[in-house]
Amino acid sequence: MPGRNGKVRVLLVGAKFGADLHMGGYARCRDLAEIVAICGRHSEQVQAIADKYGFSGFAVHDDYERAIAEVDCDVVDVCLPNYTHHDVAVAALRRGRDVIVEKPLATTTADAEEMVAAARAAGRHIYYAEDWFFAPALQRARALIAEGAIGTPLYIRAKENHSGSHSPYAQTIRYCGGGAMIHLGIHPMGFVLGLKENRWTDLVAMATGGLEHNLKHKALEGEDWATALLTFDDGTRALIEANYVTSGGMEDAVDVYGTEGVLHVDLSFSSPIRCFSVPGPSYTVEKAEVTTGWSNPVVDERYTFGSVDEIRHFMECCAADREPREGLRGEDGLEALRVVELAYRSAREKIWIRNEKMGQGG
């Protein structure tokens, strides 16, 4: 239950990139959330991220197990590299805390299954942080689909591509779980699965083989290009693409083709600002290698990609002790990861894979 001031008490575990994204959300819902503690290995990083967003009065920890044991909180927000998600989340769930976990839920389905089981055993919630569900453009697109604006959807194409991850943890399969598909494709995969209620029937995939078999990133253990084609039980097809060979900034896009129309959604390059600059703005869009010349600088990237409203939704759910909306439960994160793993198997073994769960009645 929320603290004496009625706010959800948050223990933030992590103080780098993921934590920065989430702190931007907490800064905009101070009416609902209170950061009671931040756990990070380096106190200067903890203080820097707190100062950036104007937070104070929190405890500082450098060990997540001790922090989870000692901090009186309602939810533990796990903002650490992929391979740590399982251990931190399970420790928090077993202490009776709700958890927020970034994508992907874990690096293996076995770990993700243990996380979901731990939540059920504790009677607590996993809030799976798939921010695409809160991107305003995608919310509007879903509303248009629901009202029948493009008729019956027939084919969906969704992608996240850029030039390569900044994180050293994304370079090895042990720490990340794979390459571009698990690190980038998990976004469009989770969104499309949520849109279609996880009712996929079969898939086939292709991917580069990692290291010298990659198109560009020869030192990357995982693949730098991957695609998966899914079929759903209503006949809808969906193509998911992820790659690390895209220059010019991050490409996030969804296209939906229906019987009576089509929707094109561009999340990353749809800014209303058009700028020509000789010296270059300090920032235009994530992963842009240069900012000189013509560009479309983003207006509010955190809001556009959904992380602001995502955090607010999780705080509302935690305060009311309820499950999040579809696509954002631990089970949804598990299914997205399961499909990614099956896509890897399909690409590796060059086989078509059927969804055994749907074959057993869904």
CATH number at residue 29: 3.40.50.720
Within this chain, do residues 177 and 272 fall inside the same structural domain, yes or no?
A: yes
Residue in the structure block whose two tokens are 């598990």:
334
Q: With bands split at pLDDT 50, 70 and 90, how would you rate the model's confidence at 174?
A: very high
Within this chain, do residues 242 and 260 fall inside the same structural domain, yes or no?
A: yes
pLDDT at 49: 97
How many angstroms separate the CA atoms of 291 and 275, rounded?
A: 10
pLDDT digit string, tens, across residues 312-362:
999 999 999 999 999 999 999 999 999 999 999 999 999 999 998 886 433
Q: With bands split at pLDDT 50, 70 and 90, how would you rate the model's confidence at 6?
A: confident
* Average pLDDT along the chain: 96
pLDDT at 360: 45
Of residues 67, 135, 84, 75, the one with CA closest to residue 301: 135
Please give the residue range of the domain that contains residue 114: 8-131+307-328
Residue 333 in domain: no
Strand 59-61: give its sheet, edge to edge: 59-61, 33-39, 8-13, 75-78, 98-102, 126-129
Amino acid letter, 302:
R
pLDDT digit string, tens, across residues 127-166:
999 999 999 999 999 999 999 999 999 999 999 999 999 7
Q: With bands split at pLDDT 50, 70 and 90, how would you rate the model's confidence at 4?
A: low
Within this chain, do residues 281 and 183 fall inside the same structural domain, yes or no?
A: yes
Within this chain, do residues 343 and 206 fall inside the same structural domain, yes or no?
A: yes
Within this chain, do residues 240 and 188 fall inside the same structural domain, yes or no?
A: yes
Within this chain, do residues 220 and 80 fall inside the same structural domain, yes or no?
A: no
pLDDT digit string, tens, across residues 242-282:
999 999 999 999 999 999 999 999 999 999 999 999 999 99
Within this chain, do residues 276 and 166 fall inside the same structural domain, yes or no?
A: yes
Within this chain, do residues 177 and 293 fall inside the same structural domain, yes or no?
A: yes
Q: Would you call 239 exposed, middle or buried from its count of C-beta atoms within 10 A (0-12, 13-18, 19+)?
A: middle
What is the number of domains present in the chain? 2
Within this chain, do residues 179 and 87 fall inside the same structural domain, yes or no?
A: no
Within this chain, do residues 78 and 194 fall inside the same structural domain, yes or no?
A: no
How many angstroms separate the CA atoms of 15 and 321, rounded?
A: 26
Within this chain, do residues 31 and 167 fall inside the same structural domain, yes or no?
A: no
Of residues 242, 300, 243, the one with CA closest to residue 270: 300
Within this chain, do residues 195 and 217 fall inside the same structural domain, yes or no?
A: yes
